[in-house]
Structures are given as C-alpha cells and as structure tokens.
C-alpha cells in the first residue's frame, strides 16, 4: 500500500475540519448582512433617504457575494469529502473490504457473457468492482468492455502497459482525478433530484407546451422583457425616493416583475437545460482536463491524450464559461434570493440568454471532453490494481504453454492469498483434489490474470509466461427453468461452443477451462461423456484444463495417445481439524475429504 495515500487522508481530514468552521462563520455573517440590508432599505424607503437605501442595496450586493463565497466553500468541502472517499477506497482495496463498493458493472453483463460471470470480471465481488475509478458512463463502459475482452487491445498491449505502469506511479494524480470524476456523478444525481422536485412544484402543462416548440436560440420577444423588469423597478424606486409615488408601488412593480419573469417558466427551463446537464459538473470537468494538461507524461498513449486536451484549449474556455454561468444560476437556488432577483432584475431572462448563447457556440464540447476523460478512467482503473497488489509485466507469445511462478488471484487479500507455480504445456491437464482445496480458484487465477495481460495491465505473479488464446470457461453453470434448460444441458451447450470453435480450426488456439465437468449427471454417464468431450477438445488447436473428482479421468489420453498431465490439491489434518494449504502439486490426488466435511456439518455421526 502506498504510504502517501494514507498521509493524504490525514491532510484531507485536517483541511475539511478547517473548511467546516469557515462554512459556519460565513453562514452566520451572510444572515446578519441580509437582515441588516432589509432593515436599512425599509428605513430608507420610509424616510425617503437615498443614502440609507443605497447602503442597504450595497449590503444586498455583499450578501450576493457571500452567497457565492459560501457556495465555493461548500464546493471545496464536498470536493474534500469526495477525495476522502477515494482514499478510503484505496485502503479498502488493499484490506479486502472493497466488496461493498456501489458500482460493480452488473449492467454491462450480457446473458451470453459467461466468461465474465465465471471469472468474476463483472458483477458482484468482481474485478471491475474492485478496481474501477470510472464515474462517467463512457468510462464505465470502456472499462467493462476491456475486462470482458469485448474490446481487443492485443495489438496495443505494449503501449497500454507503458501507459498503465506510468499511471501506477502517479497516485496523487489518480486520487485528484477520481475525486473530480466522482463529483460529476454526485452533482448530476443532485441536479436530477432538484429538477424532479421542481417539476412537481411547477405547472407541467406549461413546461410540456414549451417543450413542444423547437427552441433554437434566445427568443427575440424576451429581449424587451429582460430590459423592462429592472428598468421599471429602478424608475419606481427613484420616484418613491423623490416623493412622487407611494412606497407601496415598489411592492407592486416587484410582484409584476416576478410574474413577467416566471410566466414563461417552461421556456426558461428548456433554455437552461444545458446548465442542468453540464453546469453542476463543469468545474470538475475543467479540473480533470487541467490535471491532464498540467501533468507530465512520457508514455505514448497518455502523451497523445494530453495532446488532445491541448488541441482543445477552446473547449477548456467553453467549459469554464459554463461553470461561471452555472455559478450565477446557482445563486438563485435559494428561494428567497430567487424571488428577489426575479422580481427586481428579471434574473431568469439573463440566465436563459447566457445558456442559449453558450449552447449555440459550444454544443458538443462536453461529449468530446468525456471521450478523453473516459480513456483516463479506463487506463487509471487498470493502474489501480498495481497500486494495491504486487504485479509484474506478463510475457506473451504464440507458443501454447503456460509457465507461471507464484501466481495469485487479484481479488484475494494479499495478506491471506496463497500463490502457486505451475507449467502447463500439454493439450490436456487434469486437476483433481479435495473439496474446497483450491482447484476452482486456481483455474480462475490463471484465467483472470490472462485477461489482465490482454488488457495491457500488470498480472499478480512473480513470473507469467502465457500464450495468445481464445478463452472459454465452464464453471458457474446454471439451469434455466423458464427456458427448460437443466444444469447438465447448460454445461453441454458451453462445451459445445468450445468444440465448435476448435473444429473450425481458428488460428488463435482455444483455452478451455472446465470446472467439475458434467457434475450435473450420474457418475457413469459423467465419466464416459467427459472422456469423449475432452478427447474431442484436445484433438484440435486447443489447451484444455479440467478439474474433477473422478479419478478415472486421470488415466485419460488424447486422440494421439499422449497421456494427460495431472496436478492436484489436497487437505491435511492438524489436531483433528481439516485444513488446506491451497498449493498445487504434481500428480493425481490420493485423498478424499467429503465425509470429514459432512461430519463437520453434523450430518454424519462418527
């Protein structure tokens, strides 16, 4: 675990404590200023004293500034909270308590993606869940597609490994980058909630009527109204101070200003839609792009991505402009402030005008920026693994054999995981062993590290030499009651897919991993069926590794007469307790432990 990440957490907590105190102080000052301004304006209007009214108006401006400043402090507190969450997740990844992370990539799993399900690439307790730092939808999908091998990165593995390795050494960059990325998600959820609440409070028929019309820019008829509201209010106030009008007229013009401003509410919402969509996260987009543009990268891929940001300097300015527009819009989130601004200044007209002009000039800038950000999210997620696990660069070749030393499963805690070493160079390998001894975990360990190597990431091993293959798995085979498919038949369909691929003589060899072959049928049929299936698979351009309790399969020979290689896992007893060392050994298993496990469960008497 990188010690600098732990130290970052301490610094974050101290700064957040300081900002919390400042937040409370500014809130108190803001309230005092507002009340004082109201009192001064009331007294000034009553006495018709322009100086007192001016003082009150000045305090209103101070109040608006304090509202903005208070928002900046709140945003910093939220940013620190997001950063603290990011640091906590790194610590949880190392300790093995990451399985409660919200995003597990389940939505990207398809019914036919059995490999992702079998190898825990996506879904609950998956590799995706442990390593993801992606919070944009595009970044999340790119990571899911990489881990499930839907996106082929083999041709650029070397470049990707260089980029991922470079990001591994930039923990501060990744923490700051993810913190901003997470804020995008949080702000988007808050904005969606705000808009839902707004829809419940407003006249939906008016909004729907506005939505039926195509709005291509700021309507011409709105220009006179946005000038009329503030001008009338100023004229009436001057006349009141001159004694020409009664003070009550100010209230009337104020109410009129509110009505005029809010009458086209649906149209305002439509014009301001880009603010709701991009505004809350604009500052975070800007921060991420600035982080990228200011960081030094030596790898080719990261250098090219940084170059794209530099080429889009206009995009940075556009995003910053949206942030300023959103800041002005956010001032009116306070209902009292909103009414005052709408009644006296026609505030919504000006925000709508700014939003319409921005949309006309900069439409699409966030989509372009998200493409760059999502690439960093995907590569950064893969770099996370090397930050919380010991990894090395895999060596891949076209030679159909595995030679791995001290290989570990990346999802198991480094404090408890048991590493294994093995050489697989036969067409058929049989792994036998006791229940719970580690057979299935070893199959998954091989395959998940192989997947990581194809994405360009590091693998959890001391040495990892592997071939380029097409991975097939048959592990967590489930029945389909609605579809009328039993577990046994579902497994047959899996193995049929393997056999079909092998029979088509693809240039890329098949790597077939089968756990407890044909466990869904009786022992006699299982052994005969397994023998035939394994001979068929190993006869082609394939490497087959199968785990089984059927010792009869240990004597199996391939079609060309070559005997299968045998490995096994076993248990041992210590003080009458059943234990496992989870270490792969040469040869076939010679022990059984089913009865011991049944006795431990109290289902069999001594």
Alpha helices in 133-170 (DSSP H): 137-147, 157-168
Q: At what angle do helices 487-503 and 523-538 cross, to 10 degrees?
A: 20
Q: What is the pLDDT of residue 374?
A: 94
Are the C-beta atoms of residues 556 and 569 closer than 8 Å to each other? no
Q: What is the pLDDT of residue 203?
A: 47
The Cα-based distances of 270 to 9, 211, 273, 274, 503 in angstroms read 42, 7, 5, 8, 58
CA distance 309 to 292: 7
The string of DSSP letters for 455-522 reads: HT--BSSSEEEEE--EEEEESS---BTTTTB-HHHHHHHHHHHHHHHHHTT-SSPEEEEEESTTTTS-
pTM above 0.85? no
The Cα-based distances of 483 to 172, 338, 477, 487, 496 in angstroms read 50, 57, 14, 12, 18
CA distance 560 to 553: 16
Separation of CA 514 from chain center: 31
Alpha helices in 202-334 (DSSP H): 204-211, 222-242, 248-262, 265-271, 273-294, 300-311, 313-331
Q: Average pLDDT of each block of 10 consecutive residues along the chain (606 residues)?
A: 68 90 94 92 81 87 87 86 89 88 93 93 96 92 97 95 96 90 72 59 44 65 93 89 83 93 90 85 87 94 91 81 88 82 92 93 86 95 95 96 96 92 95 88 97 97 97 82 67 92 94 89 81 92 92 89 92 79 89 59 60
DSSP for residue 272: T
Q: Residue 568: which H helix or E strand, with range?
A: strand 565-569
Using DSSP, state whether 274 is helix, strand or coil: helix
Extract the tokens encoding 334: 């306070």
> How many angstroms separate the most distant Cα atoms in the chain?
113
Extract the tokens encoding 482: 């609605």
Q: What is the pLDDT of residue 212?
A: 44
Q: What is the pLDDT of residue 604?
A: 61
């Amino acid at each position: 675990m990188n010690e600098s990440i732990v130290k970052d957490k301490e610094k974050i907590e101290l700064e957040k404590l300081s900002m919390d105190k400042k937040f409370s102080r500014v809130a108190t000052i803001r309230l005092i200023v507002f009340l004082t301004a109201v009192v001064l304006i009331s007294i000034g209007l009553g006495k018709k004293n322009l100086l007192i009214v001016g003082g009150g108006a000045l305090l209103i401006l101070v109040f608006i500034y304090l509202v903005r400043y208070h928002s900046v402090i709140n945003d910093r507190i939220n940013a620190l909270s997001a950063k603290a969450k990011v640091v906590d997740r790194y610590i949880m990844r190392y300790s093995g308590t990451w399985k409660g992370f919200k995003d597990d990539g389940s939505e990207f799993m398809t019914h036919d993606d059995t490999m992702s399900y079998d190898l825990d690439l996506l879904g609950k307790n998956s590799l995706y869940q442990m390593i993801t730092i992606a919070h944009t939808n595009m970044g999340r999908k790119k990571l899911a597609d990489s881990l499930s091998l839907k996106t082929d990165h083999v041709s650029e593995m070397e470049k990707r490994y260089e980029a991922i390795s470079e990001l591994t050494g930039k923990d501060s960059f990744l923490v700051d980058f993810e913190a901003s990325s997470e804020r995008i998600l949080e702000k988007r959820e808050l904005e969606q909630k705000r808009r839902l609440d707004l829809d419940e409070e407003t006249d939906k028929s008016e909004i729907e009527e506005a939505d039926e019309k195509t709005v291509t820019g700021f309507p011409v008829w709105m220009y006179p109204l946005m000038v009329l509201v503030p001008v009338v209010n100023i004229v009436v106030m001057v006349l009141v101070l001159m004694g020409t009008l009664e003070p009550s007229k100010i209230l009337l013009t104020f109410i009129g200003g509110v009505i005029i401003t809010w009458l086209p509410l649906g149209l305002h919402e439509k014009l301001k839609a880009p603010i709701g969509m991009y505004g809350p996260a604009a500052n975070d987009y800007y921060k991420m792009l600035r982080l990228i543009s200011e960081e030094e990268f030596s790898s080719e891929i990261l250098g090219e991505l940084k170059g794209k940001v530099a080429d889009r300097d206009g995009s940075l300015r556009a995003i910053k402009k949206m942030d300023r527009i959103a800041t002005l819009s956010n001032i009116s989130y306070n209902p009292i402030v909103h009414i005052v601004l709408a009644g006296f200044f026609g505030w919504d007209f000006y925000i709508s005008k700014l939003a319409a002009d921005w949309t006309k000039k900069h439409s699409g800038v966030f989509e372009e920026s998200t493409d760059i950000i999502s690439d960093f999210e995907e590569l950064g997620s893969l770099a996370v693994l090397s930050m919380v696990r010991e990894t090395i660069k895999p060596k891949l070749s076209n030679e159909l054999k595995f030679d791995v030393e001290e290989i570990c499963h990346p999802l198991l805690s480094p404090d408890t995981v048991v590493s294994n070493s093995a050489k697989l160079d036969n067409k058929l390998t049989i792994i036998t062993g006791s229940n719970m001894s580690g057979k299935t975990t070893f199959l998954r360990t091989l395959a998940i590290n192989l997947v990581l190597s194809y994405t360009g990431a590091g693998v959890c091993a001391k040495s990892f030499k592997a071939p380029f293959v097409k991975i097939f798995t048959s592990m967590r085979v489930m029945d389909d009651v609605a579809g009328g498919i039993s577990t046994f038949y579902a497994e047959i369909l899996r193995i049929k897919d393997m056999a079909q691929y092998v029979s088509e003589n693809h240039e890329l060899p098949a790597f077939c991993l089968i756990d407890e072959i044909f466990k869904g049928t009786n022992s006699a049929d299982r052994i005969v069926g397994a023998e035939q299936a394994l001979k068929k698979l190993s006869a082609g351009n394939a490497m087959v590794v199968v785990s089984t309790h059927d010792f009869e399969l240990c004597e199996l020979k391939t079609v060309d007469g070559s005997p299968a290689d045998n490995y096994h896992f076993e248990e041992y007893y210590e003080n009458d307790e059943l234990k496992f060392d989870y270490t792969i050994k040469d040869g076939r298993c010679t022990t059984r432990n089913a009865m011991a496990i049944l006795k431990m469960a109290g289902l069999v008497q001594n």
